[in-house]
Amino acid sequence: MADWVAQYMQHKDRDPRVLIQYGDKLGNGAVFKRLGFLAERHPRSDALIDAAKLRLTKGYAELDPALDCTRLITRWRLRVPTSWAGRNRP
């Protein structure tokens, strides 16, 4: 998913509203935690980040349940692998 978000954010026709609409249809708060966290790593993603923040749910999720997610990113209520915790926007 991280690679997909990175590609999408670089696309000239990107529209964060479309991603938010898909997330709303899924009705799963973890989607917005993951999406917001991943969007922070890309320039020109402020609208997507803001929309994801508005949709944060209680509780915690893992970036990828198949990975060892030991670090908690409190602003997203998201557990991530240690190697992902320090990555910031370019």
- pLDDT tens figures, 4-39: 888 888 888 888 899 899 999 999 999 999 999 999
Task: Look at the chain and report how many structural domains it folds into.
Answer: 1
Q: For residue 78, give its domain range.
A: 2-85
- Examine residue 17 and state whether it is found in any structural domain, yes or no: yes
pTM: 0.86
CA gap 34, 49 in Å, rounded: 10
Which amino acid is it at 35?
Answer: L
Task: Please give the angle made by the CA atoms of 34, 57 and 30, to the nearest 5 degrees.
Answer: 30
- Examine residue 90 and state whether it is found in any structural domain, yes or no: no
Using CB atoms within 10 Å of the CB of residue 42, give its burial: 0 to 12 exposed, 13 to 18 middle, 19+ buried. Answer: middle
Terminal C-alpha separation, the chain = 18
